[in-house]
Amino acid sequence: MDLHSEKILILDFGSQYSQLIARRVREAHVYCELHPFDMAITAIRAFAPRGIILSGGPKSVYEAGAPAIAEELFELGVPVLGICYGMQLMTRHFGGQVVPAGKREYGHAELQALGTPGSLFDGFFVEGKSPVWMSHGDHVARVAEGFEVVAATDNAPVCAIQQVERQLYGVQFHPEVNHTPRGELLIDTFVRRICRCSGQWTPGQIIEDAIGRIRAQVGDEQVILGLSGGVDSSVAAALIHRAIGDQLTCVFVDNGLLRLNEGDQVMQTFADNLGVRVIRVDAEDRFLAALAGVTDPEQKRKIIGGLFVDLFEEQSKLLPAARWLAQGTIYPDVIESAGAKTGKAHNIKSHHNVGGLPDYMQLKLLEPLRELFKDEVRAIGEELGLPRAMVWRHPFPGPGLGVRILGEVKKEYADILRQADAIYIEELYRSGHYDKISQAFAVFLPVKSVGVMGDGRTYEYVVALRAVETRDFMTAGWYPMPYADLARISNRIINEVRGVNRVVYDISSKPPATIEWE
C-alpha cells in the first residue's frame, strides 16, 4: 500500500495557524504536506493532490504585491477549500469583491446557516448555528458569479461560500483551531467525503511503510543515531532498530544540559531493556566551554547543534563501517526552518537538526520521522512498545537546559535548574497534574533577589515555573495550578535547592509569549 497515494496539498499564505490545518488533516488519517503559496503549478501537478486547502494569511488580497496563486490552480479539477485569506483569494480570482470590514472581527462569533448548506457542512450546524473563531479585517462584499453564500455572522454577511459543481468551498472562520468546536469535523468531511480519501494514514501503516523505506535506503550498511532521550530520537531509535536491528548504533551525548539522572535513565531504557547498542559520550566540559559568555538564544542553539554534529563525526570515525547518521527530525521542525529560509513565515526559532549535514561529514542522513507531527510520533512509539512514561513525557528542547537557562549557561546554573525541575515534575506526578498538562518545566533566571532565611539576609537566584495546556503547541494557555500545590512546590524548591530564594509562576499564554522562554 502506498500511503502517499491519497494526499492533500496545503498552500501556506503566512498564517500562524497553517500547521494546525495540516494537523487536522492528519487526524483524519490522510497524508498532507504544507508548501509555500507560490509553489509552481508544475510542482502541484506532480504532487497530484486529491484536494487543496488555501490557508489564511496576514495580508489583504487587494494590496499590491499580495500573495497570489497560479491561475491554473482552479483548473486542476480537484476540490479546493479556502480558509479566511484563502476564501477571499478565491472570491477575487473569480470576480467577486473583497473590501476592508467596517468592524474587524477577532475571537468568538456565532455562525448562522443560510438556507440548506451543502454536504461539506453536514453535522457542522446545530439548529442552524455553530460557534466559530474569527480573525479577519477584510470581508467579502460581493460573491463571485456561480458561488452560493451558505453562512454569515452578524458582522460578516458572507462567511461561507460554495460552488458545488466545481467543488470549490470557502470559509471566513478558522475551522483548524480549537476555538471552533466542530471545525475538525468540517476538515474531516472535506478530505474524506469531498476529496474521497479513504484514511490510510494510521500508526500501524506508518510503521510498516517506514520500515520498508528504511530497509530500502540503508541496505546492509551501518547507521549511527544521535540519541537525546527525548520522544523524537527515542522513537526514531526504536523504529530503525525494528527495521535493521544490529546495524544501528546509538550515540548518546551527555552534554551537561540534561534533566536530573536522565543519562542513566536513557541507558537503562535502550541498552538494558530494548537491546539497542548505545555508546555514551560525556561531553559536559566541551559544551559548557563553547557556551561560555554566550547570551543570545539563537547563538546558543547553533553552538549546541554544531557541537552535536562534531561529536557524531568523531564517533563515526570510531565506527568506520557507519554510512548513515539518523536523526529524530519531525515535520514541524522542517516547516518552521523552511519558513525561516523562504521568508514565507516568521522565524520563531531555528532547529539544530534541520538543514542537512556539513560538506565535510561523510555520512548520509536518515530521518524516518521527517513527515510526522509530534502526536503521530507518540502514537507509533506506543505501537513500537516504548514505555508510556517515555512516549508521553513532556517535550524537551533539543538544546536541553541550554535554552531554559536565560542568558549565559554555567554549570552552577544547570545544577540548580536540574534540581528545581526534578522537584517540580515530581510534585506534578504526585498531585495528578502531570498528565493534565501538555508541557511543564522550570526556568533559571540569572538575576538575584533579596530574601530572608533563618533570620539572615539572602541574595540568591530566581526560578520560574511554566505549565501550559495545548492540543497542538501552536497556541497554548497557562495551566491554572491550585494555589496549595504551587505553595508546596515553591516551598520545596526554596528549602531543598541551595542558591534559590524566590519562585515565580508564569501566567503567559501563547501567543503573545512562546512556551519556552528562549
CATH of the domain at 155: 3.40.50.880
Instruction: Say whether 168 sits in a helix, a strand or coil.
Output: strand
Active site (annotated) includes residue 241: no
243 part of a folded domain: yes
* ∠ CA 202-178-31, rounded to 5°: 25
Among residues 84, 159, 195, 250, the one annotated as catalytic is 84
How far is the C-alpha of 97 from the C-alpha of 118, rounded, in Å? 23
400 part of a folded domain: no
Active site (annotated) includes residue 176: yes
CATH number, domain of 479, equals: 3.30.300.10
Same domain membership, residue 69 and residue 156: yes
Number of Cβ within 10 Å of residue 206's Cβ equals: 24
C-alpha separations of 205 from 49, 78, 239, 293 in Å = 20, 26, 13, 48
Same domain membership, residue 272 and residue 156: no
Among residues 29, 35, 136, 174, the one annotated as catalytic is 174
1 part of a folded domain: no
Handedness of CA 117, 121, 127, 131 (dihedral sign): negative
Among residues 105, 176, 184, 518, the one annotated as catalytic is 176
**Residue ranges of the binding site:** 228-234
Where the chain has pLDDT below 50, the residues are 340-343, 345-355
Torsion angle, alpha carbons of 299, 303, 304, 307, to 10: 170
Range of the domain at 280: 203-391
398 part of a folded domain: no
pLDDT reported for residue 341: 41
- Final residue of a domain: which of 364, 391, 418? 391
511 part of a folded domain: no
Q: Helix (H) and strand (E) counts for the chain?
A: 14, 18
401 part of a folded domain: no
Same domain membership, residue 185 and residue 77: yes
The DSSP secondary-structure symbol of 296 reads: -
Interacting residues of 273 by C-beta distance below 8 A, sequence separation 6+: 387
Contact assessment for residue 222 and residue 300, using Cβ atoms and an 8 Å cutoff: no
Same domain membership, residue 467 and residue 335: no
- Final residue of a domain: which of 175, 194, 213? 194
Same domain membership, residue 219 and residue 244: yes
- Final residue of a domain: which of 174, 194, 214? 194
405 part of a folded domain: no
For residue range 88-133, list pLDDT tens digits in order. Answer: 999 999 999 999 887 777 889 999 999 888 899 999 999 999 999 9
* ∠ CA 258-260-265, rounded to 5°: 85
Same domain membership, residue 380 and residue 233: yes
Active site (annotated) includes residue 336: no
* Number of structural domains found in the chain: 3
pLDDT reported for residue 356: 52
How far is the C-alpha of 349 from the C-alpha of 301, rounded, in Å? 9
**Residue ranges of the binding site for ATP:** 228-234
Same domain membership, residue 452 and residue 384: no
Burial status of residue 213 (CB atoms within 10 A of its CB: 0-12, 13-18, 19 or more): middle
| Host H or E run for residue 449 | strand 439-453
89 part of a folded domain: yes
Quote the longest CA-to-CA distance of the chain.
80
Q: Which three cell numbers stand for residue 174?
A: 478558522
